[in-house]
Each structure stands twice: as C-alpha cells, then as structure tokens.
Homo-oligomer: A and B are copies of this chain.
Amino acid sequence: MANAAILSIGDELVSGLTVNTNAGWIAAQLAQIGISVQEHVAVPDSLQAVAAAIRRFTGRVSVLLISGGLGPTEDDVTRAALADAAGQPLEQDAEALAGIEAFFRRLNRVMAPSNRLQALRPATAKTLPNSCGTAPGICMRVGRTEIFAMPGVPKEMKVMFEQAVLPELRANAPVAGRVSRVIKFNTYGVGESAIGQIIADLMKRGTNPTVGTTVYDGLVSVRVYASGSAQEVETMILEKTAQINERLGPLIFSTGDVSLSNVVGDLLTEKKQTVATAESCTGGLLAQRLTDIPGSSRYFLRGWIPYANNAKIADLQVDSDLLDRHGAVSEPVAAVLAENAGRIAGADWGIGITGIAGPDGGTLDKPVGLVYIGLASRSRVQVRRCQFAGDRNGVRLRAADMAMSLLRLAMLDLDADAVFKI
C-alpha cells in the first residue's frame, strides 16, 4: 500500500503564529484514495532543515507532499532544498515563467523581478500550474519517492492538490484500487475509559481495521480506520459498525460530523415537535446550539435567559418562595423552569437549566460544576442532577450537551439512567 509523509514549511508554523491546517487537510484527501500517512513534519524556512527533512523521507515513503516555501522572497527555500536533496542544479522553466507573467498581466499588475525565481525547478522536475497564485508547484521523483511541492497558502495549495496532484497520484497508485476509509461514531454519556472497556477487544493494536477513541469537548468518539480493496473496506466497515453499534447502542448519537444539535433537530423535525428553553448558568448556549441548524425555526420556538432571580420570577413564573427555600440552583427550580418554558411557549418540550458554572459561587453543598437540568414533556417533568468537571466553559458545554442528550433519549423513549449506566 502506498504510504506518505507530509512536510510543512514555514517559520510561522513552527513558531506557532499560524496553526498548520494544511497537513491535516492533505492527509484527509490522501486517506480517500488509499494512501496512508505515516508522519507529519513542520520545519522552519531554513535550507538545511528542509533539505534534511526531504532526505529523511526519500526512499522511506512512496509519496512526499510538501507545502510552503515556494514564494518569491529570501525565505522561500523549497526549490533550493529539493535541488540540494536530489543533487541537481536549479533550472529556469520557460512554461512556468510564462504562467507567472500571465498571472500578473491578468491582474494588471507589474511583475517584480523576484517573481522570476519562482520559475526555477530542479533539472529533472516538472512544474505544476497554480491557477490562483504566482507560485508554480514542483513534482519530481527521487529514488522510489514521488515528491510534490505545493504553495503554503491554503487556498492555492488546495486548488493545486485537486487539479494537479490528485490526478497524478491516482494515475500512479502502485496498487490500483486500494482505498482506506475512516468512520467515526460519536458517543455521549460515559467516559473514554468506560468506552475503552466495552470495546477493548476491538481496539487491539496492529490490526486492520484499527479502532481508536478520542475525546473532544467532553464527547468520546470511536474511529474505525480500514484499508484494502473497496470490497474489503466495505465489508470491514460493515462488520465493525455492527459490532460497535451492538456494544455501545444508544450511547452513540451520530456518525461522522453530525453534531448533537443536528441529531436533536432531526428528531424534532421528524416528530413535528417543538422545544423552548430557560437557561440560567448556560446563558443562551443551549439555545444557540439548537438554533445553529438551518431551519431550526421549525422546532425552536422561544428561549429565556433568566439570569437574575427576578427574571426567573417574572418570565418563567418561578415562585419567589421556591427560590428562597431551595435556592436558584436546585431541583425544584429546574423543574419549574422546564415546565413553564414549555407551557408558556406552547412547546412539546421545555428545558430548564440552573447551575454553578464557576469559577466562583460554589459552596460545600453546591460546588462549582453542579447543574440541575429539567426536561418537561406536556405530561411530566424529570430533573437530572449533574456534577460536571472542567472550567466555566467546560461546565457550560457539558450542561448543554447533557440537555440535548436527555431530550434525544426522551424522544427515543429511552431511559437516560439505564443508558448512561451501561
């Protein structure tokens, strides 16, 4: 199977001024055509460092993808580093020069003499056209390694990859027809180690497909990465999907990039139901997430953020006695917020959230991270007491996720306690 390394060049990447988004984007494209990436490397705009990195990968991988260092200035060293690593002189490419000159004519701009440098390439290399910038790409073979050098500007890199690099990779794919595919299962409700226990036998290393877990913003995802012929991959993915679904069941709320709010929105739409929210500690985050989705006005009717106690009394008809007796952060207040949000808005579902997001305001009885989440249907109301970890932002995110998860499970007629205690 073809394997690859990705080399990103630039002081701004290595010093942390710019986040390297190119490497991940290239890797995701390669996965789709069955080329597995072994390593990402980023080095500064230094001839020595770039040439050393190219040499290290030459012969070790079948494809080396480079981005950056093709500009017209002093600190653009990729051309020279390629020539150095391949032991070849740099030569002017007439066609590339004509392309750069045409680019400036098109924009009615005068070409600086330094732009001529961009038409240089190692003797045996060919250039790749750049349809949205001045820097042509470079393509050359050194030993068994096919090297593609693209610009660092993400937009230019992406267009060049799609127009010039991808067709070459497809044409030269050493084992025709091998593909790889990643499928991601998103779960909510238990921690990474619990998920790891449930599917431990599926996660043994060094297998194909491989199964791994990641945590992002408190949500645990399970990835299956399979490679082989299209047919093999299809079979592997189907088999693993069945196993993972059987083990994790309703803990899985979606696959791929489908968010919790998408899932909840789809369920509400499908059932033609509506929701209203009353949020204290999450301050509008839940409503914002629910309304992130195009067309959410079909199911999201109305939200309140009764931050101050008098707002809870005035807008959500919370009894001031109740507030005095139990405090704003309490089970009965969450219940009334949920019930009255739904009732006042005339919605099928009402959600009420009250808690202590921190960092201040915690007590021994009611520590930071304590959140009560009420969920009311037209006939009953349930309240869940949650103790979340994390900082203010984390507590708020987890509270909104939990609220959406409770709503999702209720719409699926599932009992949250049973699901989360799997």
A44 touches B40 (CB 8 A): no
Sorted nearest first, the 6 A-B pairs with minimum C-beta distance are: A283-B291, A284-B284, A16-B27, A16-B28, A303-B305, A284-B287
Q: Is A231 an interface residue (CB 8 A)?
A: no
A352 at the interface (CB under 8 A from B): no
Pick from B18, B295, B300, B307: contact of A297, CB below 8 A. Answer: B307
Question: Binding site of A, secondary structure by majority: helix, strand, loop or mixed?
Answer: mixed
Taking a contact as CB atoms under 8 Å apart, the answer to whether B39 and A114 are in contact is no
A325 contacts B by Cβ under 8 Å = no
- A206 in contact with B74 given A31-B16, A112-B196 (CB within 8 Å): yes
Flag if B305 contacts A73 (CB, 8 Å).
no
Evaluate contact between A212 and B12: CB separation under 8 angstroms. Answer: yes
CA distance A300 to B306 in the complex (A): 10
Q: CA of A306 to CA of B284 in the docked complex: distance in angstroms?
A: 12
7 cross-chain CB contacts under 8 A: A12-B214, A14-B27, A39-B41, A39-B53, A103-B389, A284-B287, A303-B303
Q: Do B12 and A20 have beta carbons less than 8 Å apart?
A: no
> With the chains together, A33 CA to B94 CA distance in Å?
47
Q: A303-B307, A308-B297 are in contact. Are A114 and B284 (CB under 8 A)?
A: no
Whether A20 and B45, one on each chain, are in contact in the complex, defined by CB atoms closer than 8 angstroms, is no
Is B14's CB under 8 angstroms from A39's CB?
yes
Q: Does A380 contact B (CB under 8 A)?
A: no
Closest B residue to A74 using CB positions: B203
A86 at the interface (CB under 8 A from B): no
Q: Is the CB of B75 within 8 A of A225?
A: no
**Given known A24-B19, A300-B283, A303-B283, contact A194–B107 (CB-CB < 8 A):** no
Contact A304 B307 (CB under 8 A): no
**Pair A296/B283 contact, Cβ less than 8 Å:** yes
Q: Contact between B393 and A132 (Cβ–Cβ < 8 Å)?
A: no
Q: Is A101 in the interface zone, CB < 8 Å from B?
A: no
